[in-house]
Structure 1
Amino acid sequence: MTTTPKILCVGSVLWDIIGRSSSHLRVGSDVPGRITRIPGGVAMNIAMTLRRFGLTPALLTAIGQDDEGRELLTACMRMGMITDHVYASIDLPTDRYMAVEGANGLIAAIADAHSLEAAGDKILTPLSDGSLGSVENPYAGIIALDGNLTQALLSDIAKSPLFKSADLRIAPASPGKAERLLPVLGHQGATLYVNLEEASLLCHKEFKNSEEAANGLISNGAHRVLVTDGGNMATEGCADGLYSATPPPVLVTRVTGAGDTFMAAHIAAETRNESRAQALNSALKAAADYVSGDTNL
């Protein structure tokens, strides 16, 4: 397997524990459904979708040297990802994410990414020690970066010479962590993938639609953005203008991982040299297929 990948996925790789029910849920609901445990995390979801499109990403993350970690690492390798550069921690447990979804969408979720946060810049060592890059010869490929990293580490990344040549693709892990991305908002090589709520949090202003949000982010210094809004119009924007499109209508059966799927599908489309319009529509189609259950990560 190659050790010089063109795409890195940096951030959370963990176990997703998801409870899904076809019923509408409210606080205190006790209903039948299905509970699954699958590899997840923002970086992992992006990597899995990239593999589905025939690309081979490398993971930069922290995974514990516990039973769950060994099982997770084996699953990553089985799926064809490059795991040579994963930081394997002796004293940190493997992270987990737990969510409950009903017919009325995501009810609640808890992300336990404390080990990734505690590992800090150790996960980035391959970008400085010559394995994937160095200060003199920084990595020049695509880096998919997720907001589960601490704000301090994201601030360091924003000004680090190790990232000056990279094509940064950045996504918040959740609306609750969106503001962590403020330090990297204006990075000259960054493309930011957010939903409408996350865009509003970053700009401290409520937007009515994705076009307003894209303009707001660009006005606040963003180099390039993609803003989604569920089944409503999505917008890709930069200083050269905006392009908007509406996702195909589908019956929603799951939501966890949809934004990560959209981001990975857009990256894959651009590696195929699709135009701005084509890439946005390809990503919307992939995300719609995912939430409808027509594809599996």
Structure 2
Amino acid sequence: MTQPPRVIVVGDVITDVVAVLSGPLMAGSDTAAEIRFSGGGQAANTAAWVAAQGVDVTLVGAIGDDDAGRDRAAELERAGVDCALERIEGTATGTVVVLATEDERTMVSQRGANLRLSVAHVERALTAVPDAGHLHLSAYTLLDVGSRGAGLRALAAAREHGLTTSVDAASAAPLRRIGAAAFLSWVRDVDLLLVNADEATVLAGGLDPAAQGRALTAAARRVVVKRGAAGAVWVDRTAPVSVAPARRVAVVDVTGAGDAFAAGLLTAWLGGATASAALNRAAELGALAVSTIGARPHP
């Protein structure tokens, strides 16, 4: 294993309002919950987990020129993330209300400044980190029309700079609205595509995970299908399929588990780990994430 190169993460910065419900949501009435305000956003969470592994990381995104944006930037800097955040005047920093149960989460989103991430800012940010070796893109950037140009430019610029690339498919519902053909054309030839079970079904149909991964390698060089408690599958165009089980832990809050998984996978793989070892490291961080409240690593 070697020290991974600097990772650039591009995508969303969010304030999470996490409500861990005591039981089923009682529509039209009251449901007791433990409620917490914290930093969130798929890209920001992944960057924080990458930094927690001792790997240099730069987060490229957009925040509002407001207290929430300043708070989000400050906490990321404290976590060891180098922030290249575009401040958008007159627009609020994004907010997500997360309703979490033992094994599921439902999100209500206001994308806010994330919709305004610009191509010019992405280009400046990538030019400013010549030591970077990898770019990881949250697909929320591609799925929102306002930021799509910035996401596409991030992938193109990464290739121009000789960086390897990865994309996290982000969310099944917007993928379904966009359509598999369009999305897969945007991520064609990325080095690594991460999808969860629902996203894999949207993009590849109702096949078994290994078959879904093989189908998706027509677009991406490598595909990881995340299956929660059922583990994960790694499919490479030129190598055998690798499968790893999930860790068995008491689940407290699944918010951010996929982002922790991505960080573990990326840092291990970029450090030279085998597919199996990278999956196992990803599973370790995913288990750590679900065992605590919140989407970020704890100090």
Paired with 1:238 and 1:105, the residues of 2 have a C-alpha distance of: 29
> Aligned-pair distance for 1:161?
4.8
- Contact (CA 8 Å) 1:223, 1:238: kept in 2 or not? yes
Structure 2 residue aligned with 1:233: 231
> Aligned-pair distance for 1:233?
3.5
Paired with 1:173 and 1:221, the residues of 2 have a C-alpha distance of: 17
Structure 1 residue aligned with 2:164: 167
| Cα distance change, pair 243–29 in 1 and its aligned pair in 2 (3 A) | farther
Letter in 2 for 1:163: R
Structure 1 residue aligned with 2:101: 102
Structure 2 residue aligned with 1:183: 185
Letter in 1 for 2:7: I
Alignment match of 1:131 (pick from 128, 131, 147):
128
Paired with 1:227 and 1:221, the residues of 2 have a C-alpha distance of: 14
Paired with 2:293 and 2:20, the residues of 1 have a C-alpha distance of: 16
* 1:268 matches 2:267: yes
Task: Flag structure 2 segments of 5+ consecutive residues without an equivalent.
Answer: none
SS state at 1:124 partner: helix
- Contact (CA 8 Å) 1:8, 1:57: kept in 2 or not? yes
Paired with 1:176 and 1:140, the residues of 2 have a C-alpha distance of: 32
SS state at 2:118 partner: helix
* 1:156 matches 2:152: yes
| Cα distance change, pair 155–146 in 1 and its aligned pair in 2 (3 A) | closer
1:34-89 per-position Cα deviation (integer Å, ceiling 9, x unaligned): 11111110111101111211112111000111111112211122222112x22112
Structure 2 residue aligned with 1:254: 253
> Aligned-pair distance for 1:235?
0.5
Letter in 2 for 1:168: T
> Aligned-pair distance for 1:244?
0.9
Pick which of 72-81 and 256-265 moved more: 72-81
Structure with the bigger RCO (C-alpha within 8 Å, sep 6+) is: 2
> Aligned-pair distance for 1:212?
2.2
Paired with 1:21 and 1:294, the residues of 2 have a C-alpha distance of: 12
Q: What are the equivalent positions in structure 2 for 1:1-20 lying under 5 Å apart? A: 6-20=6-20
> Aligned-pair distance for 1:256?
1.4
Structure 2 residue aligned with 1:39: 39
| Cα distance change, pair 52–162 in 1 and its aligned pair in 2 (3 A) | closer
- Contact (CA 8 Å) 2:175, 2:199: kept in 1 or not? yes
Structure 2 residue aligned with 1:24: 24
| Cα distance change, pair 145–201 in 1 and its aligned pair in 2 (3 A) | same
> Aligned-pair distance for 1:111?
2.1
Pick which of 146-155 and 61-70 moved more: 146-155
Q: TM-score, normalised by structure 2?
A: 0.85
Residue identity over aligned pairs, in percent, reads: 24
> Aligned-pair distance for 1:9?
1.1
| Cα distance change, pair 104–71 in 1 and its aligned pair in 2 (3 A) | closer
Paired with 2:21 and 2:155, the residues of 1 have a C-alpha distance of: 44
Q: What are the equivalent positions in structure 2 for 1:87-98 lying under 5 Å apart? A: 87-98=86-97
- Contact (CA 8 Å) 1:158, 1:183: kept in 2 or not? no
Q: TM-score, normalised by structure 1?
A: 0.85
> Aligned-pair distance for 1:210?
2.0
Structure 2 residue aligned with 1:136: none
Letter in 2 for 1:184: W
Paired with 2:31 and 2:155, the residues of 1 have a C-alpha distance of: 49
